[in-house]
Amino acid sequence: MPPFTVTYRHATPEMDALDAERLLALIQFCEPAVTDLDPRICRIPLIELGATVTSEVWLSPSPVRAGTMNGVGYAEDGEAAFLHLQLDEYAQDALQPLTAVAYRRLLAAAHTLGYPHILRAWNYFPEINQECVGLERYRAFCAGRHQALMAELADCAPHLPAACAIGTYRPGLRISVLAARQPGIQIENPRQVSAFHYPPQYGRRSPSFSRAVLKTWGQRDCHLYISGTASIVGHASQHHDLRTQLDETLLNLETLLAEAQRVAPAPLRLTLLKVYCRHEFNPAPLRASIVSALGADADLLFLHADICRRELLIEIEGMAVGGDR
Ligand code: 3EB
């Protein structure tokens, strides 16, 4: 069985125009609805740059089962599961315990459903660079995530998911994960210190994520889930302007892809890239640079968002695919 596919649709699809039986996740970047009736719909409060309205559609080759468990929305197809959770911040300084609770609930639901391996996580919450009681909120988030993941995974580092942590414009901690029955393979970037080994100047608890995770599905097919990648060399942020940060980021992406290619069972091609921009840039020139560095295969989505280090202006995450699909 081939794995699920992820594509961008640059138009708002009606639920009934989608193959609802096989829909694993529908991710939209817009004002969240008060209630989402379908647990597979995930709305992230970020503004898309450019004139398009894009939806991210995860489609399974087989019928999915969807539901909610202890506040966690999920869908699974026998091979992979998408799970997501939104928690209200009951106090501005409670992000750390709230994050730990969120991860514990996601891990517990994934376990119960039979998908104990978290391959990829998306973390969204507001005011990511704001200080709260002397601690930047991103660092509070990192401490909570570390607490939950380290408790769960004894020799945690090799099994950390690929991830991104992004600032939104609306209250609420939103975390989604991709989970599987079998683990993926950790891929690190030789140009960068692994985030889980960052020195303490970036926070008392290092960020618990892998640069990328390679997952084989069946005999030949594989996915590479690429974490948010930015203008960081070693552990230090580089450059002060957008263009040079973009070039450094693209070099990091190419390096990561080459590193993954050494262990991938088939040639990898980038299929999707999500570009988070701190300021409202015109995406057209950025798109041209990205296409000329990485090729025109990948579909691009540009979002106006805060990035977890104040000095970073751009961050790119995405997915590459190997095999027939
Ligand atoms: C970095 O490389 C930039 O904390 O989950 C990128 C991807 C970043 C994921 C996370 C943070 C995270 O450190 C920031």
* 246-255: pLDDT as tens digits: 999 999 999 9
Distance from residue 324's CA to the centre of ligand 1 (Å): 30
The pair of three-digit structure tokens given for residue 274, joined into one six-digit string: 């999500």
Of the pLDDT bands very low, low, confident and very high (cuts 50, 70, 90), residue 37 is confident
Instruction: Say how many Å lie between the CA of residue 234 and the centre of ligand 1.
Output: 13
**What is the tally of structural domains in the chain?**
1
Tokens of residue 74, six digits? 């999920």
Cα–Cα dist 130/228, whole Å: 20
For residues 275 and 277, give the distance between their C-alpha atoms in angstroms, rounded to a whole number: 6
Instruction: List own/partner pairs for 286-291 with CB under 8 A and 24 or more apart.
Output: 286/242, 286/246, 286/314, 289/243, 289/246, 289/247, 289/250, 290/246, 290/250, 290/316
For ligand 1, what atom is nearest to the CA of residue 232?
A: 2
Residue minimizing CA distance to atom 14 of ligand 1 = 308
Q: Say if residue 182's pLDDT is above 70.
A: yes
Is the pLDDT at 154 greater than 70? The verdict is: no
Please choose from 149, 225, 308 the residue to mutate so as to test ligand 1's pocket, defined by most ligand atoms within 8 A of CB. 308
Percent of the chain as helix, strand, coil, to the nearest 5: 25, 40, 35
Q: Does the CB atom of residue 228 touch ligand 1 within 6 A? A: yes
Q: For residue 190, what pLDDT band results from cuts at 50, 70 and 90?
A: very high
Residues marked active site are found at 315
Ligand 1, atom nearest to 164 Cα = 9
Would you say the CB of residue 140 lies under 6 angstroms from ligand 1? no
Q: Is the CB of 144 under 6 A from ligand 1?
A: no
Q: Ligand 1: which residue has its CA nearest to atom 6?
A: 228
Nearest CA to ligand 1 atom 12: 164
Q: Is 207 in the pocket of ligand 1 (CB under 6 A)?
A: yes
CB 163 near ligand 1, within 6 Å: yes
Which tokens is 14 given? 């009606």
The atom of ligand 1 lying closest to the CA of 202 is 13
Residue 54: count of CB within 10 angstroms of its CB? 21
Residue 3 Cβ contacting ligand 1 at under 6 Å: no
pLDDT in tens, 97-150: 999 999 999 999 999 999 999 999 999 999 999 999 999 999 999 999 999 998
Quote the ligand 1 centre to 62 CA distance (angstroms): 33
Q: Residues 48-59: what's their mean pLDDT?
A: 92
Burial of 89 (C-beta count, 10 Å sphere; 0-12/13-18/19+)? middle
Res. 325 pLDDT band, cuts 50 70 90: low
Q: How confident is the model at residue 222 (pLDDT cuts 50, 70, 90)?
A: very high
Q: To test the ligand 1 pocket, which listed residue (125, 142, 315, 316) has its Cβ within 8 A of the most ligand atoms? A: 315
Rounded distance between C-alpha atoms, residue 1 and residue 302, angstroms: 32
Helix 95-113 vs helix 137-152: crossing angle, to nearest 10: 30
CATH number at residue 160: 3.30.1330.40
Domain that holds residue 271: 5-322
- pLDDT 10s digits, 241-294: 999 999 999 999 999 999 999 999 999 999 999 999 999 889 999 999 999 999
Ligand 1 lined by 164 (C-beta under 6 Å): yes
Structure tokens given for 87: 């928690």
Distance in angstroms between the alpha carbons of the first and the last residue of the chain: 11
pLDDT at 160 over 90: yes
pLDDT at 156 over 80: no
Ligand 1 pocket, residue 308 CB under 6 Å: yes
Q: How far apart are CA 37 and CA 70, in angstroms?
A: 15
Got the DSSP string for 10-54? SS---GGGS-GGGEEEEEEESPPPS--SSTTEEEE--EEPSS---
For ligand 1, whether the C-beta of 209 sits within 6 Å is yes
Q: What band does 157 get if pLDDT is binned at 50, 70 and 90?
A: confident
The span from the CA of 249 to the CA of 255, in Å, is: 10
